[in-house]
Structures are given as structure tokens and as C-alpha cells.
């Protein structure tokens, strides 16, 4: 594996599992109905990475957390959830060693029990696909 690919895998793993901020949710449960549940998202970042995404309603608000998967890291809360057309957009920040706190935007489009994902990590877009657990 090339060094650049190894770095990409390491950075993506850290970014996907160590979000550090929390905030208000701006999506209704009706807006997020197609996304509710637990998903496994596979991302090819020079090597296979899978993470779990859970979207649910808690006390009347839509919440999400991401992590786990084949990384073995704990689930972490997503800070902001909005809807853009038929896509759910989740934003959070992660503390990246050597880079500091980095914004991440995860955009997902659901189609039944599958989804298409796009991770925008400080301007670098990494595609993924997911299935409902």
C-alpha cells in the first residue's frame, strides 16, 4: 500500500470515529424517516473501512452517532443534522493528530435498505455505500 493511501486510511479512521462536538438537531423525524435505524457504511480510503451510523429519535429530536464498524472504536454523537432535498446531511468535527479539529460533512441518500454516502473531510470527498442492519 502506498504511503499516501496509508495516511488516508489512518486519517479517515480517526475522523469517522472521534467527533468532538455536539449541537442542536434541525431535522424532524418525518424528514429523517427513510434514514432511521442502524446502517453499516463501507468506505474505500485506500483500504476497506466500515463504520456504523445510527439515526434515531430521542426526546422528539433526530440524533445520530457514528463509529464502531471494523475500527473497533466507540460510537460518537453527530453535532448537526439537516436535510438537503432527499439527502440527510450530518456535520461534526474531529480532532486529527497533527491537524487539529477538522470539520466533516457526511451526506447520505437512502434508497430502501441501502444508502449512498459521501464524506467531505476538509475538502477531500470520500464516497461510501451502506446497508441497513
Residue 115: CATH number of its domain: 2.40.128
Per-residue model confidence (pLDDT) at position 73: 65
Per-residue model confidence (pLDDT) at position 39: 97
Ranges assigned E (strand) in 9-123 = 37-44, 48-58, 61-68, 73-77, 80-84, 87-96, 100-111, 114-121
Could you tell me which of 107, 109, 106, 91 has the C-alpha nearest to residue 35? 109
- Give the number of domains in the chain: 1
Per-residue model confidence (pLDDT) at position 95: 54
Per-residue model confidence (pLDDT) at position 6: 47
In terms of residue numbers, what domain contains 61?
Answer: 3-132
Distance CA 105, CA 93 (A): 9
Per-residue model confidence (pLDDT) at position 7: 45
Pair type for strands 87-96 and 80-84: antiparallel
What pLDDT tens digit does each residue of the chain (133 aa) get?
Answer: 554 444 455 445 544 544 444 433 469 999 999 999 999 999 876 778 898 999 999 998 999 998 878 866 667 789 899 999 899 999 977 654 466 667 889 999 999 999 999 988 788 898 999 999 9
CA angle 89, 92, 97 (to 5 degrees): 140
60 class by beta-carbon count within 10 Å (0-12 exposed, 13-18 middle, 19+ buried)? exposed
Amino acid at each position: 500500500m502506498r504511503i499516501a493511501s496509508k495516511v488516508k486510511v489512518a486519517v479517515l479512521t480517526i475522523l469517522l470515529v472521534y467527533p468532538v462536538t455536539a449541537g442542536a438537531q434541525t431535522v424532524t423525524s418525518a424528514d429523517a424517516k427513510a434514514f432511521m435505524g442502524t446502517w453499516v457504511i463501507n468506505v474505500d480510503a485506500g483500504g476497506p473501512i466500515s463504520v456504523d451510523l445510527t439515526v434515531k429519535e430521542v426526546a422528539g429530536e433526530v440524533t445520530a452517532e457514528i463509529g464502531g464498524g471494523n475500527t473497533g472504536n466507540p460510537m460518537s454523537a453527530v453535532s448537526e443534522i439537516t436535510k438537503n432535498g432527499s439527502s440527510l446531511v450530518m456535520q461534526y468535527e474531529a480532532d486529527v493528530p497533527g491537524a487539529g479539529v477538522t470539520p466533516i460533512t457526511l451526506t447520505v441518500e437512502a434508497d430502501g435498505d441501502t444508502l449512498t454516502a459521501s464524506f467531505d473531510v476538509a475538502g477531500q470527498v470520500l464516497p461510501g455505500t451502506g446497508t441497513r442492519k
